A and B are shown apart, each in its own frame.
Chain A
């Protein structure tokens, strides 16, 4: 509640400040890139960044619970799950460039999500 009130007092005139526009624009750009890049690993990393930017957006919108949950669950746990799945899909040999381009082999590729 307190955090929400601080945010509300900070922009009494509304949300059209530069930070919000930049944040919204970056979210759209990262979403487009997630679906556009060729390499699946890059797409997954962009997806995790999307989640973290989204947590920032929730903080701007006065939703601290949702921001915490998004950062921990949406970016953290979902990121770990997707990276685990990517590793498992690529361990079975490259099935054409759709699954395996830029392939991360072995366990080292997994020390990323801390």
Chain B
């Protein structure tokens, strides 16, 4: 029995045999899943229209059947207009998808994370590099994974974070007050802004927030770097 149509997105797709696609999808209820879309590649007209639909950043209604880990796509319909991500937004979108593929386990549904994913895509539709929204998505991902980053208290004693102080992230534990601002410290002001989802107005806020989230995600990513980050580097050789 195929499932009822569910809202979802394609995170990634690869060719599978001559005419099929292997899709990594992300849904609210079932989380990340692998689906086979049969007969959608190639010259046939109906197939080509499906292949165009089954792309990342296109809101979809999906249904599938099967019991194994790899299920078969039974129906796919557009649930809205595709997000026309161009230039750097596309790199950001690929980064977000890579984060989910790397860090979010298969077959684990999370409404809040799905909502966060929809919000970051919407933000990408509005701004070129939506730093504030990217950081909020990273925070949501950590929270959904069970590693919520406590931004308003230090780890020992639970003293509240003060805007004028500086803090260090101790991996796996939390924040600790830094004796002096340093290369890897983050100001209390930036932490407040992150905690309240307030705009990261100044370059230093954005820099600190980005570094903090990078440090927080690093232990989960392990030694394998995120490949989509390479795209942001300017080609120079």
Whether A associates with B in a native complex is: no
